């Protein structure tokens, strides 16, 4: 396989039809996410599909804020969470029962038994919106397709792949009738058919221009600007401090007595925040007075 290192998402459209698309291929951002824990390869692959998925969603649902996908279930995987902000900063994590043997090939439905997918849109200023999809399909791509048909009511198709090194995805959406272009009734079916021939090593190994040429060489494809995506964590000392204080003055005092200081490590980026008695004492005093 070619080893192109790309951390980008790129939008495209077809000149003679009302179909738009997105292609994402990520390397570094994906690596940064999976290296935080000792994930088994099959989980790394599943995480990679979520990384590609959140990147696609980020570019499709344009909001000034944070977008997240959270999968929860009762299988050996309890939570898988991926998020992306308006500056294309990605972070994510999975929690699983490490007393169980993780199979080499895993299906979303199996690992999250009876679970669901929550897609949350949290604008910087405005109301939070959450869409829930039951995990009934075997793959994340199927679940996302279901999400799009529920939330946007536009026919959409998703292709995702990950191999522990790269993760990538393709997205096609048929735009509403008022934006339809004349003379190409069969375009949607034809483009799905063409895209369905994509192989994993093409999705993960080819630059976008080359991939699209290979898939759609008889179509008029228009490519738009690329956006770079990177790993980025939104944790901060102030936020961690607020989280510590939310435990309550009594609990924080106990921690100080037991451990000498309060240490919190961010699960997403492994940054360690340490608060000494001196850092905390003023706020503890305030809290004590209000209680």
The one segment of 107-115, 167-175, 230-238, 256-264 that binds Zn ion by CB under 5 A: 230-238
Query: Is residue 269 near Zn ion by the rule CB under 5 A?
Result: yes
Query: Is residue 81 near Zn ion by the rule CB under 5 A?
Result: no
Smallest distance from the beta carbon of 239 to Zn ion, in angstroms?
Answer: 9
What distance in Å separates the CA atoms of residue 228 and residue 25, rounded to the nearest whole number?
A: 10
Smallest distance from the beta carbon of 266 to Zn ion, in angstroms?
Answer: 3
The one segment of 166-174, 175-183, 204-212, 227-235 that binds Zn ion by CB under 5 A: 227-235
What distance in Å separates the CA atoms of residue 124 and residue 65, rounded to the nearest whole number?
A: 5
Query: Is residue 117 near Zn ion by the rule CB under 5 A?
Result: no
Strand partners for 272: 265
Of 9, 71, 235, 262, the residue at the interface with Zn ion (CB under 5 A) is: 235
DSSP, collapsed to helix, strand or coil, labels residue 258 as helix
CB closer to Zn ion out of 235 and 280 = 235
Smallest distance from the beta carbon of 94 to Zn ion, in angstroms?
Answer: 16
Query: Is residue 203 near Zn ion by the rule CB under 5 A?
Result: no
The one segment of 28-36, 185-193, 241-249, 268-276 that binds Zn ion by CB under 5 A: 268-276
CB closer to Zn ion out of 234 and 261 = 234
Cβ count near 285 (within 10 Å): 11
- Nearest Cα residue to 162 out of 203, 196, 119: 203
CB closer to Zn ion out of 90 and 206 = 90
CB closer to Zn ion out of 221 and 233 = 233
Cβ count near 150 (within 10 Å): 12
Query: Is residue 264 near Zn ion by the rule CB under 5 A?
Result: no
Q: What is the DSSP string of 230-247?
A: EE-----HHHHHHHHHTT
Query: Is residue 56 near Zn ion by the rule CB under 5 A?
Result: no
**Ramachandran area for residue 226 (φ above 0: left; ψ -120 to 50: alpha; else beta):** beta
Cβ count near 133 (within 10 Å): 22
Strand partners for 90: 84, 231
Smallest distance from the beta carbon of 232 to Zn ion, in angstroms?
Answer: 9
Query: Is residue 223 near Zn ion by the rule CB under 5 A?
Result: no
**Residue 63 half-sphere exposure, CB side, CA atoms within 13 Å?**
18
Q: Count of residues binding Zn ion (CB under 5 A)?
A: 6
Q: What is the dihedral of CA 52, 268, 233, 132, to 10 degrees?
A: 50
Query: Which residue is associated with the tokens 């397709």?
Result: 145
Site string for Zn ion, 7-46 (x = CB under 5 A): ----------------------------------------
Query: Is residue 266 near Zn ion by the rule CB under 5 A?
Result: yes
What distance in Å separates the CA atoms of residue 98 and residue 108, rounded to the nearest whole number?
A: 17
Of 61, 233, 255, 264, the residue at the interface with Zn ion (CB under 5 A) is: 233
Summarize as ranges the residues that interact with Zn ion (CB under 5 A).
233, 235, 266, 268-269, 271
């Amino acid at each position: 396989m070619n080893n192109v290192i790309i951390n980008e998402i790129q939008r495209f459209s077809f000149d003679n039809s009302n179909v738009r698309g997105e292609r994402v291929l990520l390397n570094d951002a994906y690596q940064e996410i999976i290296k935080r824990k000792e994930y088994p390869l099959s989980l790394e692959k599943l995480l990679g599909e979520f990384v590609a998925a959140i990147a696609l969603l980020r570019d499709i649902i344009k909001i000034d804020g944070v977008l997240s996908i959270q999968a929860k279930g009762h299988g050996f995987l309890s939570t898988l969470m991926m998020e992306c902000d308006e500056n294309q900063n990605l972070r994510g994590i999975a929690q699983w029962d490490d007393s169980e043997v993780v199979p080499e090939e895993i299906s979303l439905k199996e690992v999250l038994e009876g679970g669901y997918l929550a897609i949350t849109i949290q604008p910087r200023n405005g109301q939070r919106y959450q869409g829930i999809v039951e995990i009934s399909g075997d793959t994340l791509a199927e679940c996302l397709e279901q999400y799009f048909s529920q939330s946007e009511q536009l026919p959409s198709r998703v292709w995702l792949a990950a191999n522990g090194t790269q993760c990538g995805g393709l997205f096609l959406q048929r735009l509403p009738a008022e934006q339809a272009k004349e003379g190409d009734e069969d375009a949607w079916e034809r483009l799905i058919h063409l895209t369905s021939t994509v192989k994993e090593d093409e999705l993960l190994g080819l630059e976008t221009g080359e991939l699209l040429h290979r898939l759609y060489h008889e179509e008029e494809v228009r490519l738009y600007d690329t956006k770079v995506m990177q790993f980025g964590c939104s944790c901060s000392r102030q936020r961690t401090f607020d989280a510590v204080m939310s435990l309550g003055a009594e609990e924080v005092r106990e921690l100080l007595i037991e451990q000498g200081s309060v240490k919190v490590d961010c699960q997403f980026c492994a940054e360690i925040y340490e608060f000494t008695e001196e850092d905390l004492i003023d706020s503890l005093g305030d809290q004590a007075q209000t209680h």
